Amino acid sequence: MKKNLVIGLIISGICVFFAVRGINFSEVAASLKSASYGYLVPVIIVVVLGLYLRCYRWGIILRSLASYDQKTLFSIGSIGFMAVCVLPARLGEFARPYLVKRKSGVRMSATMATIIVERVFDLLALMLVLFAVLLKVSLPPEIFKAGITMLTISFSLFVVLIFLAVKKEFSLNTIERITIALPPRIKQPLLRLAHSFIEGLQMLPDIKKTLYVGALSFVIWLVVGLSNYVLFFAFSFDLSLINAYAILVVVALGVMLPAAPGFVGTYHYACVLGLTAFGISKSAAFSYAVALHFIQLVPVIMLGLIFLPLEHLSLAQVVASEASEDDGNGQQG
């Protein structure tokens, strides 16, 4: 974890440098002071709605392993997304698998597979948003290249995951042949890991569910992008809804990099980069980035902290969950 933290801090530090380089901090302060904060309420509502939809979607992906009502999903999901916000380099992704293991005995590797499926759907939906944006506005070539790269990676990974899920026995037999020369103390844990991981992919062969999750993923990104748009009014930016979705894509690509807790630096630099491309001054863009980052993170962190005691969990346990390992006794749900 320390190595990941150091890497995240270095990347965040570099991004902070580029985000603030050349800006006038007195202009930043004036911009933040003059913003219309009455728009905070609708932005927060949109952020919470996006979180609720994410938890609902994850419940569908998770159903082959464990089935929970929406209240439980929202509780576990809120803690998990809070952990992603407060831990570096996306180590918080282990929090939800840890909670599912505690609650239902499902191996963390199996639940982690559902998180990977979720992320792949996010990337595919995000790239769909990107290409819709490119029909209307011009983005820097670097953003377009990054989008093509992520689309290629996400689509390739999606195909691999579907193959593993559909050809379950063939995949497990292939893995067993590959590991045949390994000592049993290494081979057996690897086979258990592979088996439980593939179990976590079993939603994918269901075409109706897969299409439904894909549609939900697109809706989630549309909802998240609305928070960007509403905040334009708070800062009196003369930008359109399509500009808001362009900023959404740029920021989403930015926060894929390892970073300090809360995506500090990567979030801000990506947001500044996108807004300045649309003619917003760097000082005003940085002010907007600070405000949007704060508004999008605080409700998620607050909800996670509220649900922690309800799950009989402490923040220290969430932090330690990334180091947890399957004990080999977990059930598959």
What would the two tokens of residue 225 be? Answer: 């992008």
User: To 5 degrees, how large is the angle CA 36–CA 267–CA 297?
Assistant: 60
Residue 331: predicted pLDDT: 43
pLDDT of residue 328: 44
**Residues 112 and 65 sit within 8 Å (Cβ to Cβ):** no
Residues 6 or more apart whose Cβ sits within 8 Å of residue 10: none
pLDDT digits (tens, 9 = 90+) for 14-53: 999 999 999 999 999 999 999 999 999 999 999 999 999 9
pLDDT tens by residue, 275-302: 999 999 999 999 999 999 999 999 999 9
Residue 178 has pLDDT above 80, yes or no: yes
Q: What is the DSSP letter of 328?
A: S
DSSP structural state of residue 137: S
pLDDT the model gives residue 333 = 40
Structure confidence at residue 325 (pLDDT): 52
Of the chain, the percentage scoring pLDDT greater than 90 comes to: 63
Confidence of residue 92 (pLDDT cuts 50, 70, 90): confident
Return the percentage of the chain with pLDDT > 70, whole number. Answer: 94
Q: How many CA atoms lie within 13 A of 147 on its CB side?
A: 23
Model confidence pLDDT, tens digit, residues 53-81: 999 999 999 998 999 999 999 999 999 99
What is the pLDDT of the chain when averaged over all its residues? 89
The predicted model scores a pTM of 0.87
The stretch 104-128 carries a mean pLDDT of 91
Q: Is 137 exposed, middle or buried (0-12, 13-18, 19+ CB in 10 A)?
A: middle
- The reported pLDDT for the residue numbered 272 is 95
pLDDT tens sequence across 193-232: 899 899 999 899 999 999 999 999 999 999 999 999 999 9
Which of the four pLDDT bands, split at 50, 70 and 90, describes residue 89? low
Specify the pLDDT at position 134. Answer: 82
Quick count: other Cβ atoms within 10 Å of Cβ 26?
Answer: 9
